[in-house]
Amino acid sequence: MLMRSNEPDWDALVDEPSARVSRSVFVDEAIHALEIERIFNRCWLFVGHESEIPNPGDYVTRRMADDHVIVMRGPDARVRVFLNACTHRGVKVCRADSGHARQLICPYHGWTYDTAGHLLTTGFDDFYAGKLDKLALGLKAVAQTDTHGGLIFATFDPQAVSLADYLGDARFYLDTYFNRTPGGMVVLSPPQRWVVPANWKMGALNFGTDNQHLYPTHLGPTAMELLGAPAKAVVAALGASHQVSMSGHSTVNTVLPPDQVIPYCGLHPDLIPLYEQTLSPVQLDILRRNVVTVGNVFPHLAWIQPALDVERSGNAVAGGTLRVWQPLGPHAMELTSWYLAEREASDEWKQKVLEAGVRGFGMSGVFEEDDVDVWSSVNQMCRGRQARAESASFETALNFLPVNDFAGPGTAYYPMLPESVQFNLLRRWKALMRRP
């Protein structure tokens, strides 16, 4: 790792004039430790969807980087996020991935908490000689919790800006795909989780947004036209679409050219009037022409909505997928993937959306396996001292300036193929990493 005094030389690690990045940022243990401190303990992190915990007492257990947390709906219907550690000895309180509880009881000594995190009893209250301060011994809540369009976020930083300010222009695109009907979206099943031997930034960069890899990496699925549109139309869309940068967040909406549009490709006709009722004209036009969108909310929440025809039936299905690139160290991440559909959709359509999402981007999905293979090979190769000493190239970012012909918010670049937005994500990473 390049060092300057006791601090890494961030300008050498992410060299903006040359758009080259040291490969050590993907494999170095010390850099990873600083990421936890300076990014994951400061940024707003996605921890779940409100539809997963609809009733008071419902909970899910999640991770916020290297901390385990409980996401719970309290007796007042408010969503709270606590460290999943008993305040007595730090024992893991909730052992299930999800469930419903009237109380949370530590399995070690029986300390008992209500669903708002307050300590009810230690089981031995009389032994404290009247000095037991139950108010101070409740489950430790994270500094801030908030929601947007059903998406639950939390941050350990009490000084962090509001969630609305943090998401900024990304709210426009999140709403287009995950808050586009009056009832919003619902999670269709417990999320899939699997471990990938790759650095979390590989996923964030891929979805935020690496568009050059579509044909080399996914040649098989695209040649089979599993994206639900003719291959020629998809190729044309690659050259006719914008990529958008938003202070580290990023998206690309692959929209078909006007003469090749498949209106609302993969979406159910019965839901279109609800989109027209909910979305702005610009959002509606993007959704109408879209064949696949991907994006990443910095640092590690990604979304994808492809119109998939994985059954080769001629009837594409477009469902929303949310995923988190949870860091497990510099050499591994836990990939957590949620599949969502509109609350108003029929049960039959929700099942189709779930099946399409799992077949396309589940842990053994036809597109997912392609991505995981190349991500893990980067980590495997760059662990070597000689390979680590080289740099990764994002140089096509240097030749394209922002454009003003895109109707949506954010800083737009045209076309979607250069590495402009990916490199902006790394600029944001560097800006946060250099703040002690």
Does a structural domain hold residue 282?
yes
Q: Which of 127, 159, 191 is the last residue of a domain?
A: 159
Same domain, 198 and 151: no
Same domain, 356 and 260: yes
Does a structural domain hold residue 20?
no
Diameter over CA atoms, the chain = 80
Same domain, 228 and 263: yes
State the CATH number of the domain containing residue 255. Answer: 3.90.380.10
- Model confidence at 230, pLDDT cuts 50, 70, 90, reads confident
What burial class does residue 400 get, using C-beta atoms within 10 Å of its C-beta: 0-12 exposed, 13-18 middle, 19+ buried? middle
Q: Which of 159, 174, 197 is the last residue of a domain?
A: 159
Residue 3 has a pLDDT of 57
Does a structural domain hold residue 34?
no
Same domain, 337 and 421: yes
Same domain, 242 and 208: yes
Instruction: State which amino acid sits at residue 269.
Output: P
Same domain, 260 and 369: yes
Does a structural domain hold residue 108?
yes
Which residue did the predictor score with more confidence, 256 or 127? 127
Contact at 8 Å (CB) between 116 and 7? no
Same domain, 146 and 187: no
Q: Which of 144, 159, 174 is the last residue of a domain?
A: 159
Residue 419 has a pLDDT of 96
pTM score: 0.96
Residues of the chain with pLDDT > 70, as a percent, come to 99
Same domain, 98 and 203: no
Does a structural domain hold residue 3?
no
pLDDT in tens, 176-192: 999 999 999 999 999 99
Total structural domains within the chain: 2
Contact at 8 Å (CB) between 168 and 151? no
Range of the domain at 140: 45-159
State the CATH number of the domain containing residue 100. Answer: 2.102.10.10
pLDDT in tens, 126-143: 999 999 999 999 999 999
Measured CA to CA in angstroms, residue 259 lies from 14, 81, 263, 302 at distances of 41, 48, 11, 30
CA distance 63 to 151: 15
Same domain, 206 and 110: no
